[in-house]
Structures are given as structure tokens and as C-alpha cells.
């Protein structure tokens, strides 16, 4: 079994957990998990960790995401996307190019977002979407998120094709709803495709069907991003053979004191992640076999 990360191009209509279940069946392994959940209707980059790759998930830098989306003006739904029940329909014909650009600029930068009720955020131990399905709406605390880019790619009123580059934790559905409120006509998301999630890009993604083909023909090796490559945002320290033996036994070798967290490698494979403790000592956080 190859260890590392698969970048799956998630299809619409299934959950992120469904994707992981398919990967487990195709690769005949139980050790797999995804990062960065996508809604069932959304498509695109879904990183799936396999084998030793699962140990690297806590150390990934997925602080930045990028999406391409279609926003439908004039329609408001309870889920903030096209899959929900329509709550309101309004005239969008008064929207102009200048008012659209002005509203999108207002929603760029560090902004406050209220998470949607149809989300996996838990309140009182209960996911919000379960409460929403029961017809219960609860107060949610606003969150600070950063919209680095909110760009109009195409305009075919009432449909707007946009690109959003944003911080982790941003809800593009909420961004669409907020845009509709600013424009005075309401809006919802009609499609969402993630093109970037941290170090993972859509150009490197494969479909589940392609993964199945590769598994059947023994061509899996080239489809994985190894744990060492997935953590390139961390400084790398190359171990000696003697240090590698120590690490394999859970012993922290002598390390530089000028780093907070680092990758420890040997023969171009990730052997461990080490991090500085409050007392200044470097300690192994996770060992990779």
C-alpha cells in the first residue's frame, strides 16, 4: 500500500465521507480519511490521506482555499444554495455592473460571517444541520474570515460566475447570501467547485473512476503525494542514519533550537514531525514508519 495523499476530484451528489468509503474499497484499506469537507452538491479538490498519510493531517497547511462558483441572483433558500427550499424570490434587474463591483469589494478582505444553519458546526454537541432539519434555528456567533480575492469571471444575469480565494472556515454559501443582501435582491449558490486546498491543486486531482483504473492496473504509485511533500511549508531537517534509528524508537535527536516545528527526513522519506515545547525543548510529535 502506498502512503500519502490522494487528491480526489469529488463528484456532485455524494458526501465527503462517501468518497473516503469508495477510496477504502478501491485500495482495500481501512486507514483513510479526508480533510476539508465539501458539501454533497460541491465538486473539486478533496484531499484523502491513506496509510501513514493520516498521521500528517494535523500538520497540513490548508489555511487558504480557492473556489469557482456560480451565484444566482434573486433567489434565497434555507440552505443558501440551490438544494434548499426557496424562501424568497425578488427582482434582480436593478443590479448594475457598478453596484455589483462595489458590493463584491465590500465583501473582500477580513469580514465577519455568520455560519449557516445547514453546516456541520456543533452547538451543544449537536451539528447545526440536524437542528435545521428539525426546523430549529439557533443563534450563531459571527466568525472572522479573510476573502483574499472575490473576482467576477462571467456575468449572465441572473447568474454570476466568480472566483473566491479565502481563508479556511469561509462559507462561500454565506458569501453568496451576503452579496444578495447587499444588492437588495437576495442570492444563493447554484454551483461550487474547489480548485485549491492548501498545497493541493485541481490540476493534480483524479476522479474515483481513474483511481479504480489505476488500482486495477498497478499504477497507483504516481497518484500519491507523499507525507514529506505534503508538508513542504515546514522546514526540513535531514537525519543521519543513527538519528533515524533513535527517532524510530521515539527518541528525539539533537535538533536546532531556532525552529518551532519541523519535518525530520531520511532518504527522502518523512520520519517524524518535531515541535518546540513551552520549556524550549524540541520533542517528537508524530513518528512515521
CB neighbour list of residue 263: distance below 8 Å, 6 or more residues apart: 228, 231, 234, 235, 236, 237, 270, 272, 273
Rg (CA), the chain: 22
CB neighbour list of residue 77: distance below 8 Å, 6 or more residues apart: 83, 84, 85, 86, 87, 188
Q: Is 39 a catalytic residue?
A: yes
Q: Which three cell numbers stand for residue 80?
A: 443558501
Query: Residue 87 carries which DSSP code?
Result: E
Contact 266, 251 (CB under 8 A): no
Single out the catalytic residue among 39, 81, 177, 178.
Answer: 39
Task: Give the position of cell 447545526.
Answer: 128
Handedness of CA 120, 150, 139, 143 (dihedral sign): positive
Task: Give the position of cell 480533510.
Answer: 35
CA distances from 244 to 59, 184, 254 (A): 20, 62, 11
User: Buried b vs exposed e over 25-34: b needs ≥16 C-beta within 10 Å?
Assistant: ebbeeeebbb
Q: Give the residue numbers marked as catalytic.
A: 39
Amino acid at each position: 500500500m502506498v502512503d500519502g495523499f490522494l487528491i480526489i476530484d469529488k463528484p456532485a451528489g455524494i458526501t465527503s465521507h462517501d468518497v473516503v468509503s469508495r477510496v477504502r474499497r478501491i485500495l482495500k484499506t481501512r486507514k483513510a480519511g479526508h480533510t476539508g469537507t465539501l458539501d454533497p452538491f460541491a465538486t473539486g479538490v478533496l484531499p484523502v490521506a491513506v496509510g501513514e498519510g493520516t498521521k500528517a493531517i494535523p500538520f497540513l497547511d490548508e489555511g487558504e482555499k480557492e473556489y469557482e462558483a456560480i451565484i444566482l441572483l434573486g433567489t434565497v433558500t434555507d440552505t443558501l444554495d440551490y438544494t434548499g427550499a426557496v424562501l424568497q424570490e425578488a427582482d434582480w434587474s436593478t443590479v448594475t455592473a457598478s453596484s455589483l463591483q462595489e458590493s463584491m469589494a465590500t465583501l473582500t478582505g477580513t469580514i465577519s460571517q455568520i455560519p449557516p444553519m445547514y453546516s456541520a458546526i456543533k452547538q451543544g454537541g449537536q451539528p447545526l444541520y440536524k437542528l435545521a432539519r428539525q426546523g430549529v434555528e439557533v443563534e450563531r456567533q459571527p466568525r472572522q474570515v479573510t476573502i483574499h480575492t472575490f473576482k467576477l469571471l462571467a456575468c449572465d444575469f441572473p447568474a454570476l460566475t466568480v472566483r473566491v480565494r479565502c481563508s479556511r472556515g469561509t462559507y462561500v454559501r454565506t458569501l453568496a447570501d451576503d452579496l444578495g443582501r447587499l444588492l437588495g435582491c437576495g442570492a444563493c449558490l447554484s454551483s461550487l467547485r474547489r480548485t485549491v486546498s492548501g498545497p493541493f491543486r485541481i490540476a493534480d486531482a483524479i476522479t474515483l473512476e481513474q483511481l479504480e483504473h489505476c488500482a486495477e492496473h498497478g499504477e497507483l504509485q504516481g497518484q500519491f503525494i507523499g507525507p514529506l511533500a505534503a508538508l513542504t511549508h515546514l522546514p526540513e531537517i535531514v537525519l543521519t542514519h543513527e538519528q533515524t534509528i533513535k527517532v524510530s524508537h521515539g527518541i528525539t535527536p539533537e535538533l536546532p533550537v531556532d525552529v518551532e516545528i519541523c519535518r525530520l527526513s531520511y532518504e527522502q522519506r518523512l520520519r517524524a514531525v518535531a515541535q518546540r515545547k513551552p520549556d524550549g525543548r524540541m520533542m517528537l510529535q508524530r513518528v512515521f514508519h
